[in-house]
């Protein structure tokens, strides 16, 4: 079952909202089926905020007025798969793990969360933009990956994917190396920056510099209106459960699925590119694969 698009949008904006807006979001996610039938004052009262805060929230979400927002919720409700029974009281909060869960329940929820995040990310993926970025990669002099922390895992995976085909690819996680690599960027280079919350200082700074130097800049993040999303020309938004860390009353669940989604998005770029490379480039992939056989037991 795919999460309704408006709930995905709320989750992607959640970490960059002020406390009042987060309160409204918490109420909407927990009482989603009722929201389309609430007036602005009712939603304000139920969320514990002012009507003015709801008006600001609606505009922040990109709607002209509250009526348009209500309509969007009603339309989004139609996206739910009504043929499936609800399994949880709050089905759109990723994780949902409780200290009372046994191992079977924990495993089920962790697997379900990974699957749900992948499904939801696919539902909002801009495939036309992904095709365009892949074409840039095909023509690129260099492809640079920037990432720190756990996002570095996805960045390193991307570098390994592309350089196996003979595409000149590098990956930097050290802030100094990121800045130097960005400064050496030229027109025709492609930078792919990965940061789940979009606020990793070194990644954002290096990406901004690379763009100034003429590189095509691509971002993978779960947070709309984040510094990284605003720094790049081509942002791709993943769905992540780390917004749960900000919500009161939820069990902290920082899922590794954020990396699964990041790596999957990079894999989509890789596969599209791989199917379009010709001659010696694809031959290099098979040659490197053969070389690696000597390292296997």
Structure tokens at 56: 């600001």
CATH number for the segment(s) 127-293: 3.40.50.10490
CA distance linking residue 176 with residue 57, whole number of Å: 39
The pLDDT value given to residue 1? 67
The pLDDT value given to residue 28? 92
- Out of 14-18, 178-182, 279-283, least confident range: 279-283
From residue 257, alpha-carbon distances to 73, 98, 110, 115, 161 in Å are: 27, 18, 9, 9, 20
3-state SS, residue 30: helix
Structure tokens at 128: 């036309």
Residue 89 pLDDT greater than 70, yes or no? no
The pLDDT value given to residue 15? 86
CA distance linking residue 173 with residue 276, whole number of Å: 29
Calculate mean pLDDT across residues 154-183. Answer: 95
The pLDDT value given to residue 134? 96
Question: Measured in Å, how far apart are the chain's first and last C-alpha atoms?
Answer: 42
294/39: higher pLDDT: 39
Q: At 224, give phi and psi (nearest 5°).
A: -75, 150
Residue 199 pLDDT greater than 80, yes or no? yes
Residue 263 pLDDT greater than 80, yes or no? yes
Residue 282 pLDDT greater than 80, yes or no? no
75/91: higher pLDDT: 75
pLDDT tens per residue across span 206-242: 999 999 999 999 999 999 999 999 999 999 999 876 5
Calculate mean pLDDT across residues 22-33. Answer: 90
Q: At 205, give phi and psi (nearest 5°).
A: -60, -45
CA distance linking residue 223 with residue 249, whole number of Å: 22
DSSP string, 236-278: EE---SGGGGGSTTS-----THHHHHHHHHHHHHHHHHHTT--
Average pLDDT, the chain: 86
pLDDT band, residue 248 (cuts 50/70/90): low
pLDDT tens per residue across span 44-58: 999 999 999 999 999
Residues constituting the chain: 297
3-state SS, residue 78: coil
156 CB-near residues (< 8 Å, 6+ apart): 145, 147, 171, 173
291/285: higher pLDDT: 291
Q: What is the widest separation between alpha-carbon atoms in the chain?
A: 69
**By percentage, how much of the chain surpasses pLDDT 90?**
59
Given a contact cutoff of 8 angstroms between Cβ atoms, the answer to whether 27 and 47 are in contact is: yes
C-alpha angle 68/72/73, rounded to 5°? 120
pLDDT band, residue 277 (cuts 50/70/90): confident
pLDDT band, residue 281 (cuts 50/70/90): low
pLDDT tens per residue across span 96-149: 677 788 899 888 888 888 888 899 999 999 999 999 999 999 999 999 999 999
Given a contact cutoff of 8 angstroms between Cβ atoms, the answer to whether 215 and 109 are in contact is: no
Q: Which residue has the tokens 């079952």?
A: 1
The pLDDT value given to residue 115? 87
Residue 169 pLDDT greater than 50, yes or no? yes
**By percentage, how much of the chain surpasses pLDDT 70?**
86
CATH number for the segment(s) 5-82: 1.10.10.10
Domain ranges of the chain: 5-82, 127-293
Q: Closest by alpha carbon to 199, among 223, 233, 218?
A: 223
Given a contact cutoff of 8 angstroms between Cβ atoms, the answer to whether 193 and 220 are in contact is: yes
CA distance linking residue 134 with residue 58, whole number of Å: 35
The pLDDT value given to residue 33? 82
Structure tokens at 152: 């570095």
């Amino acid at each position: 079952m795919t999460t309704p698009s408006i709930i995905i949008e709320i989750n992607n904006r959640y970490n960059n909202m002020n406390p009042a807006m987060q309160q409204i979001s918490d109420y909407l996610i927990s009482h989603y089926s009722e929201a389309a039938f609430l007036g602005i004052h009712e939603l304000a009262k139920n969320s514990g905020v002012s009507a003015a805060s709801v008006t600001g929230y609606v505009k922040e979400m990109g709607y002209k007025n509250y009526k348009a927002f209500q309509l969007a919720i009603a339309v989004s409700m139609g996206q739910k798969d009504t043929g499936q029974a609800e399994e949880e009281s709050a089905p759109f909060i990723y994780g949902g793990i409780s200290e009372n869960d046994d191992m079977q329940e924990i495993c089920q929820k962790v697997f379900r969360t990974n699957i749900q995040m992948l499904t939801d990310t696919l539902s909002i993926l801009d495939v036309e933009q992904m095709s365009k970025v892949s074409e840039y990669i095909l023509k690129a002099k260099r492809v640079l990956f920037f990432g720190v922390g756990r996002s570095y895992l996805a960045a390193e995976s991307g570098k390994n994917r592309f350089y196996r085909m003979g595409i000149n690819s590098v990956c930097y996680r050290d802030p100094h190396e990121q800045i130097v690599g960005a400064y050496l960027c030229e027109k025709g280079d492609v930078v792919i920056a990965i940061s789940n919350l979009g606020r990793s200082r070194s990644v954002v700074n290096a990406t901004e510099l690379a763009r100034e130097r003429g590189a095509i800049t691509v971002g993978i993040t779960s947070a709309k209106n984040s510094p990284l999303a605003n720094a790049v020309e081509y942002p791709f938004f993943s769905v992540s459960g780390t917004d749960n860390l900000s919500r009161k009353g939820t069990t902290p669940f920082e899922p590794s699925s954020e990396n699964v989604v990041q790596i999957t998005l990079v894999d989509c770029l890789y596969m599209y590119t791989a199917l379009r490379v010709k001659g010696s480039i694809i031959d290099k992939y098979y040659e490197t694969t053969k070389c690696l056989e000597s390292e296997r037991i």
